[in-house]
Amino acid sequence: GDSVTQMEGPVTLSEEAFLTINCTYTATGYPSLFWYVQYPGEGLQLLLKATKADDKGSNKGFEATYRKETTSFHLEKGSVQVSDSAVYFCALLLNTDKLIFGTGTRLQVFP
Amino acid sequence: NAGVTQTPKFRILKIGQSMTLQCTQDMNHNYMYWYRQDPGMGLKLIYYSVGAGITDKGEVPNGYNVSRSTTEDFPLRLELAAPSQTSVYFCASSDRAQETQYFGPGTRLLVL
């Protein structure tokens, strides 16, 4: 079935380090791909999305490129801040009404 | 705009009790969703609705019921609470099926 696989966390980084969170997917069609972020004590917020192959989503210094050939949508940021500490969820949306989420990756950034 | 609001924020239930989790959105979205989030897991879809009067089951509907009498409100009902329903519950809404979903702050439920 359709699914999303994310790297396990926590990912622990120092401020200004480079971030990569891996996400791969399995889907029978051509999904839209999303990254959601959940800050402590809050609900999920959309971080970025891409709707077709080779699209790049970007927001707040984060980027992810929809790679159809490797079925991946890895999240990257060149220089993380303490305020980026959160849980990051990769998700896909097919021609249905339902988002399918990965298990989430916790990012901890220390000064 | 308040967006998506959920009440209560936290609740403790005894086994066998019932309760309703409230969800309201003020964005005039047609689509609304209920998810549960268990520790270390992603979100699982419980029920969803594509408009007033229309609801459908998601991945994990057992033990829950929903109704959608208005566009704004999408309450989730637990009839006989069980420890397995201890979780954080999120409500979300979107304008159309392929559009961004907006999430509420969540309800933390503990069943003892």
Could you read off the pLDDT of A46-78 as tens digits, one per residue? 999 999 999 999 999 999 999 999 999 999 999
pLDDT at B1: 64
Q: What is the mean pLDDT of residues B64-86?
A: 96
Residue-by-residue DSSP string for B8-37: -SEEEE-TT--EEEEEEESS--SEEEEEEE
Q: Collect all residues of chain A within an 8 Å Cβ-Cβ radius of residue B48.
A: 97-98
Is B27 in CB contact (< 8 Å) with chain A? no
Nearest residue, CB atoms, B106 vs list A43, A45, A98: A43
The pLDDT of residue A6 is above 90 = yes
Q: Which of B33, B34, B93, B100 to probe the A interface (max A CBs under 10 A)?
A: B100
Note which residues in 77-96 of chain A have CB less than 8 A from chain B: 89, 93, 96
Alpha-carbon torsion (B7, A97, A72, A57), positive or negative: negative
Is B90 in CB contact (< 8 Å) with chain A? yes
- Of the candidates A9, A67, A26, A34, the one whose C-alpha atom is nearest the C-alpha of residue B41 is A9
pLDDT level of residue A96 (50, 70, 90 thresholds): low
B91, with CB counted inside 10 A (0-12, 13-18, 19+), is buried
pLDDT at B41: 79
Is B103 in CB contact (< 8 Å) with chain A? yes
pLDDT at B42: 82
* Contact call for A99 and B4, based on CB within 8 A: no
* Contact call for A43 and B4, based on CB within 8 A: yes
Q: What is the mean pLDDT of residues B78-89?
A: 95
Rounded CA-CA distance B3/B12 in Å is 26
- Greater model confidence, A40 or A79: A79
The pLDDT of residue B98 is above 70 = no
Nearest residue, CB atoms, B42 vs list A32, A34, A89: A89
Q: Which two tokens stand for residue A30?
A: 């051509």
